Amino acid sequence: MSVAELLEGKRICVCAGSGGVGKTTTSAAVALGVAAEGAKVAVVTIDPAQRLANALGVEELPNEPHRVDPGRLTAAGLEVQGELWAMMLDPKRTFDELIERVAPDPGRAEEIKANRVYRELSSAVSGSQEFTAIAKLYDLDQEHEFDLLVLDTPPSRNALDFLEAPERLNSFLEGSTLKALARPAGRGLRVLGRGATPVLAALRRVTGVDLLTDVGTFFGLLGDMTGDFSLRAEQVEELLRADTTAFMLVTSAEREPIEEAIWFHRTLEHGGLPFAGVVVNRVHHDLLDGSEPEDVRPALRRTLGADLAARVADNFRDYHVLARRDDVNVDRLANALGDEPLLVVPQLDEDVHDLEGLLRMHRYLFASASEFEQLLADLVA
Amino acid sequence: MRSPAVPWPTVPSLLDKRLIFVTGKGGVGKSTVAAALGMLGARHGLRTMVAELSSQQRVQGLFERYGEQFEEVQLAPRLFTISIDPEHAMDEYLRVKVGALGHALAGSRLFQTFAMATPGMRELLTIGKVWELAQLHRRTRGASPYDLVIVDAPATGHGLGLLRTPKTFADIARVGPIAHQGRTIAETLADPGFTGVVAVATPEEMPVNETLTLCETVEEEELALDLVVLNGLYPVRFDRREVDQLSDALERSRSPLSRTALRAALAEHSRAANQREQQARLKAGVNGRLVELPYVFTEQLGPRQVEALADGLEQAIRRPRR
């Protein structure tokens, strides 16, 4: 199964997974591959490595998609029929743009942007990246400029944060819970007024008066905009559930990320979200073909001498410890996935940080079944 | 580029602190390093807690234990772990700290929803629980104090955000109980005699970048970076002359097995060489002082491997003799 088949008919591909598994590079390689086959594709990256960012040219035009120079792609050895675009998300700017778009007039937008609660909200590390990533995805989708949008997700320990954090922020922005606690009074919630419920009285005791006043002012400024946030939230939810959307899980072959992928897949299934498949990066394949690592030693002793041959054998043995580890973990993942697609990218000789590296990944991700067999066979010299 | 000052004189006393945050990019082995530090603390006679966040339970897994979540679980003599969950922490805080009123709030769904949706609240509750674990007089009824609390913290950006949360809340709330609590916690975190930060990186571009950025930001945040751990360093098995020999042999050899083994050797050598470049970059950025831990070739990390990593750390952070 190749990524091209998995994404057939899809307009959005969300690459999710725990931190450090190669999400950014996988997203870029996926976008590159689909563009190569003739589509206009944009990849939204969150925090690419410097060299990858340079290679994609995303720093020149922050927060907007930017076409990757086709000449560079050709030079790297891939004829791209379509167009590859890339952008780097700027959460703060995305948040500000959202407010500017939704605010009834520029004055109100400025007031909100100057509000203390808003400033904390929009620059808080946790939550705002996830929220704005999805907001940007939604806006790009609305513009209908691209055949496919590939979204890299923010680095987090817990892959599920990506789904939960925007929901939390949304329910805060909608302010429904706070509205239930206090009655609106002009441009500010009269949270301290008469008729406060016992819950509110308790809340005031626990949080302090100023905090509630600030939050009240913030929601007063948002006013009717909270309704727009609710509406957007619904539309975003719809978009993520659409059958033209695909969640692709990315993992490495180590135990913990694999466990997380299994759990994430279960959650997607449970929540009825569209799942396309899993990419397992950096897999150490068994290269022994039935032999033992030790067999290398006598074979190489004459050419290399006993000492060097022994060290080559040691290295080969260590490699196969990891091959056994990966085999067990990938098997467990395959069992948990049932018939769902599972794609494997072997441990490459070098980390991926440029277009050449993306191309190496691309070969495995977009290979047909027979091509993939050949690639694996090539791993054994 | 200005190289950030790492306050090394404090390193020998890392285990004299009560609260240590272990941070670094995802996938660099924070949990393993946190567990190894925990083991080291326990070895030194300290009643030690390794706290995990966001409902993770990796540390229990490392010790082949699969016990209760959100409870303090003993792993070995003097070594404990807990997985901290914000909802659970809020419930505990309200009931224990706020009394009858707290009971009323804890029972209110409306309040629960509001609190959990408030940006930063989950972080505040999490760090509040961490702070509570490190107190001599525990709020939790019947709980004994810990000499050392090690936090398996979120990835670098989120980890710093977490440390910043109490101050943010104190600033926004200005007066009232949250402001007071926020300030108390912020002061504890800013006290280098009490709180320490350990950064973990693997010798790859992104983790090293994150650690170098961290070195600069901790300084701005007035926190102390106590230790940089370079984790997962591949051995350099071959010298330059030997690499040439291997390449020659690869060209000549006809045996598929030999060729595959030679290719694997050359691939790993190039990986190890790239790692050395990143190692040098990190070393330069932290004034040449860091602790290196080897890559552990194993099918499954367990107590024995954590033990070995603790040995590696021991040398670097041995307490001064008194």
Of residues B87, B264, B292, B167, the one with CA closest to residue A349: B264
Which of A208, A254, A316 lies nearest to residue B264, judging by beta carbons? A316
Q: Work out the minimum CA distance from A309 to partner chain B, whole angstroms.
A: 9
CA dihedral for B117, B118, B119, B122, sign (positive or negative): negative
Q: Which residues pair with B230 in a beta bridge?
A: B201, B292
Q: How far apart are CA A253 and CA A279, in angstroms?
A: 10
Residue B155 is encoded by which pair of tokens? 């990835």
Least confident of A123-127, A134-138, B72-76: A123-127
Q: Residue A343: pLDDT band by 50, 70, 90 thresholds?
A: very high
Q: Do B258 and A304 lie within an 8 Å CB cutoff?
A: no
Per-residue model confidence (pLDDT) at position A165: 78
DSSP B95: I
DSSP of A292-325: -GGGHHHHHHHHH-HHHHHHHHHHHHHHHHHHHH
**A169 near B CB under 8 A:** yes
The two most distant CA atoms of chain B are separated, in Å, by 82
Q: Work out the minimum CA distance from A340 to partner chain B, whole angstroms.
A: 25
Q: How far apart are CA B99 and CA B103, in angstroms?
A: 6
Residues A333-357: what's their mean pLDDT?
A: 90
Q: Do A19 and B26 lie within an 8 Å CB cutoff?
A: yes
Count residue pairs from A and B with Cβ separation < 8 A.
Answer: 219
Q: Residue A178: pLDDT band by 50, 70, 90 thresholds?
A: low
Q: Nearest residue on chain B to A174, judged by CA atoms?
A: B117
pLDDT per position as a tens digit, A247-267 = 999 999 999 899 989 989 998
Terminal C-alpha separation, chain B = 39
Contact A205, B101 (CB under 8 A): yes
Residue B8 has pLDDT above 60, yes or no: no
DSSP A144: T
Q: Which residues of B touch A55 (CB under 8 A)?
A: none
**Letter string b/e over residues A103-128, b meaning 16 or more CB atoms within 10 A of that residue's CB:** beeeebbebbbebebbebbbebbbbb
Per-residue model confidence (pLDDT) at position B141: 72
Q: Do B104 and A311 lie within an 8 Å CB cutoff?
A: no
CATH number of the domain that B202 lies in? 3.40.50.300
In which order are the strands placed within the sheet that holds A275-283?
A66-67, A83-88, A40-45, A148-152, A12-16, A245-252, A275-283, A342-346
Q: Which residues of B touch A319 (CB under 8 A)?
A: 264, 268
Q: Do A206 and B122 lie within an 8 Å CB cutoff?
A: no
Residues A212-232: what's their mean pLDDT?
A: 80
**What does each C-alpha distance from A41 to A85, A136, A144, A153, B100 come to in angstroms?**
6, 15, 11, 17, 57
Q: Which residues pair with B22 in a beta bridge?
A: B152, B198
Q: Which residues of B touch A303 (CB under 8 A)?
A: 249, 252-253
Chain mean position to CA B250 = 42
- Phi, psi angle pair for B174, to nearest 5°: 55, -65
Q: Which residues of A touch B250 (CB under 8 A)?
A: 381
Q: Nearest residue on chain A to B300, judged by CA atoms?
A: A325
Residue B42 is encoded by which pair of tokens? 């326990």
Q: Do A321 and B298 lie within an 8 Å CB cutoff?
A: yes
Per-residue model confidence (pLDDT) at position A216: 74
Per-residue model confidence (pLDDT) at position A271: 87
H-helix segments, chain A: 3-6, 23-36, 50-56, 70-76, 91-102, 106-114, 116-123, 125-143, 161-174, 176-181, 198-207, 209-222, 225-241, 255-270, 296-304, 306-337, 355-365, 369-379
Instruction: Name the residue with tokens 């689909």.
Output: A34
- Residues with Cβ within 8 Å of residue A280, at least 6 apart in sequence: A251, A252, A253, A258, A330, A333, A342, A343, A344, A345
Instruction: Name the residue with tokens 């932290």.
Output: B286
> Looking at this protein, which amino acid is placed at residue B137?
H
**A231 near B CB under 8 A:** no
Q: Report yes or no on B3 lying in a domain.
A: no
Q: Residue A277: pLDDT band by 50, 70, 90 thresholds?
A: very high
Q: How far apart are CA A368 and CA A366, in angstroms?
A: 7
Q: Which domain holds residue B194?
A: 8-235+289-316
Q: Report yes or no on B243 lying in a domain.
A: no
- Residues with Cβ within 8 Å of residue B184, at least 6 apart in sequence: B131, B166
Global pTM value: 0.89
**A202 near B CB under 8 A:** yes
Q: How far apart are CA A36 and CA B25, in angstroms?
A: 32
Domain boundaries of chain A, sorted by first residue = 3-287+323-379
Q: Report yes or no on B85 lying in a domain.
A: yes
In which order are the strands placed within the sheet that holds B148-152?
B73-76, B79-83, B48-52, B148-152, B19-24, B195-201, B225-233, B291-294
Per-residue model confidence (pLDDT) at position B11: 44
Q: Report yes or no on B63 lying in a domain.
A: yes
Look at B149 and B219; give whichever has higher pLDDT: B149
Q: Do B173 and A210 lie within an 8 Å CB cutoff?
A: yes
pLDDT per position as a tens digit, B94-125 = 887 777 777 777 777 777 777 777 777 888 88
> Looking at this protein, which amino acid is placed at residue A60?
E
Q: Is residue B149 helix, strand or coil?
A: strand
Q: Residue A278: pLDDT band by 50, 70, 90 thresholds?
A: very high
Least confident of A14-23, A226-235, B244-253: A226-235
Q: Report yes or no on B60 lying in a domain.
A: yes
Q: Work out the minimum CA distance from A130 to partner chain B, whole angstroms.
A: 12
Which of A116, A318, A350 lies nearest to residue B297, judging by beta carbons? A318
Residue A193 has pLDDT above 60, yes or no: no
Residue A175 has pLDDT above 90, yes or no: no
Give strand ranges (E) for chain B.
19-24, 48-52, 73-76, 79-83, 148-152, 195-201, 225-233, 291-294
Residue A282 is encoded by which pair of tokens? 């950096």
Q: Report yes or no on B281 lying in a domain.
A: no
Per-residue model confidence (pLDDT) at position A152: 94
**Number of neighbouring beta carbons within 10 Å of residue A234:** 11
Per-residue model confidence (pLDDT) at position B4: 47
Which of A157, A178, A202 lies nearest to residue B101, judging by beta carbons? A202
**A172 near B CB under 8 A:** yes
What is the Rg, in whole angstroms, of the alpha carbon atoms belonging to chain B? 22
pLDDT per position as a tens digit, A112-134 = 999 877 887 787 656 788 889 99
E strand or H helix that includes residue B243: helix B240-252
Q: Which residues of B touch A205 (CB under 8 A)?
A: 98, 101, 177
Q: Nearest residue on chain A to B57, judged by CA atoms?
A: A256
Residue B62 is encoded by which pair of tokens? 């490392």
Q: Residue A275: pLDDT band by 50, 70, 90 thresholds?
A: very high
Q: Report yes or no on B274 lying in a domain.
A: no
Q: Do B105 and A202 lie within an 8 Å CB cutoff?
A: yes
CATH 1.10.1520.10 corresponds to the domain A3-287+323-379: no
Residue A188 is encoded by which pair of tokens? 């500010």
Best of A212, A252, A280, A315 to mutate (most B CBs within 10 Å, chain B): A315
Residues B5-16: what's their mean pLDDT?
A: 59
ipTM of the complex as predicted: 0.88
Q: Chain-wide mean pLDDT for chain B?
A: 86
B227 burial level (CB within 10 Å; 0-12, 13-18, 19+): buried
Best of B84, B111, B114 to mutate (most A CBs within 10 Å, chain A): B114
Per-residue model confidence (pLDDT) at position A230: 84
| Total number of domains constituting chain B | 1
Instruction: Name the residue with tokens 């946030």.
Output: A229
Per-residue model confidence (pLDDT) at position B292: 94
Q: How far apart are CA B282 and CA B288, in angstroms?
A: 8
